Structure 1
Amino acid sequence: MRVLVTGEKSYVGLNLKKWLSQWNDRYIIDFISLKNDKWKNIDLSNYDVLFHVAALVHKKEQPEMENLYYRINRDLTLELAIKAKRDGVKQFIFMSSISVYGLDGLFGEKQEINQSTPCCPISFYGKSKLEAEILLNKINDENFKVVIVRAPMIYGPHCPGNYSRLRKLAFYTPIFPSIFNERSMIFIDNLSEFLRLIIEEQCHGLFFPQNKEYVNTSQLVKLISNENSKNLLLSKSLGKLVKLMGYKKIAKKLFGNLVIDPSLSEYKQFSYCIADLPKSINISEKNIEKGV
Structure 2
Amino acid sequence: MKRVLITGANSYVGTNVEKWLMKEPENFYVENLDMRDPNWKNFDFSKFDVVFHVAGIAHVSTKKSMKDLYFKVNRDLTIETAIKAKESGVKQFIFMSSMIVYNSKETRITKDTKPNPDNFYGLSKLQAEEGILPLQSETFNVVVLRPPMIYGPGSKGNFPKLIKLAKKTPIFPNISNKRSMLYIDNLSESIKTIIKKSHSGTFYPQNQEYSCTTEIVRLLSITFNRRIFFTRVTNLLIRALRSHVSTINKLFSDSYYDHELSRDILKCSTITLNDSISLLNNHE
Aligned residues of 2:242 and 2:253 also touching (Cα < 8 A): no
Distance in 1 (alpha carbons) for counterparts of 2:29 and 2:170 = 46
Distance in 1 (alpha carbons) for counterparts of 2:111 and 2:206 = 15
The 1:261/1:281 distance shift into structure 2, 3 A limit, reads same
Distance in 2 (alpha carbons) for counterparts of 1:219 and 1:145 = 39
Cα RMSD after superposing both structures: 1.4
The 1:29/1:281 distance shift into structure 2, 3 A limit, reads same
Corresponding residue SS for 2:41 = helix
Superposed displacement of residue 197, structure 1: 0.1
Out of 156, 159, 166, the position equivalent to 2:155 is: 159
Distance in 1 (alpha carbons) for counterparts of 2:105 and 2:280 = 26
User: What residue in structure 2 maps to residue 118 of structure 1?
Assistant: 114
Out of 263, 267, 275, the position equivalent to 1:266 is: 263
Distance in 2 (alpha carbons) for counterparts of 1:54 and 1:7 = 4
Q: Does 1:206 align with 2:202?
A: yes
Could you tell which deviates more after superposition, 248-257 or 207-216?
248-257
Map residues 42-53 of structure 1 onto 2, 5 A cutoff. 42-53=43-54
Corresponding residue SS for 1:210 = coil
User: What residue in structure 1 maps to residue 17 of structure 2?
Assistant: 16
Superposed displacement of residue 248, structure 1: 4.2
Superposed displacement of residue 240, structure 1: 4.2
Give the alignment's TM-score, normalised by structure 1. Answer: 0.93
Q: Deviations over 1:152-179 (max 9, x none)?
A: 0111111001110100011000111100
Aligned residues of 2:208 and 2:267 also touching (Cα < 8 A): no
Out of 159, 175, 200, the position equivalent to 2:171 is: 175
> Mind listing any 5+ residue stretches in structure 2 that lack a counterpart?
none
Could you tell which deviates more after superposition, 123-132 or 59-68?
59-68
Aligned residues of 1:170 and 1:224 also touching (Cα < 8 A): yes
Aligned residues of 2:101 and 2:116 also touching (Cα < 8 A): yes
The 1:24/1:221 distance shift into structure 2, 3 A limit, reads same
Counterpart residue type for residue 24 of structure 1? P
Runs of 4+ with deviation above 6 angstroms: none
Aligned residues of 2:179 and 2:212 also touching (Cα < 8 A): yes
Distance in 2 (alpha carbons) for counterparts of 1:60 and 1:131 = 17
Map residues 1-292 of structure 1 onto 2, 5 A cutoff. 1-104=2-105, 111-249=107-245, 250-268=247-265, 270-286=266-282, 288-289=283-284
Aligned residues of 1:104 and 1:253 also touching (Cα < 8 A): no
Distance in 2 (alpha carbons) for counterparts of 1:67 and 1:81 = 20
Corresponding residue SS for 2:22 = helix
Q: Deviations over 1:112-133 (max 9, x none)?
A: 1111111111111111111111
Counterpart residue type for residue 118 of structure 1? K
Distance in 2 (alpha carbons) for counterparts of 1:25 and 1:247 = 50
Distance in 2 (alpha carbons) for counterparts of 1:65 and 1:164 = 24
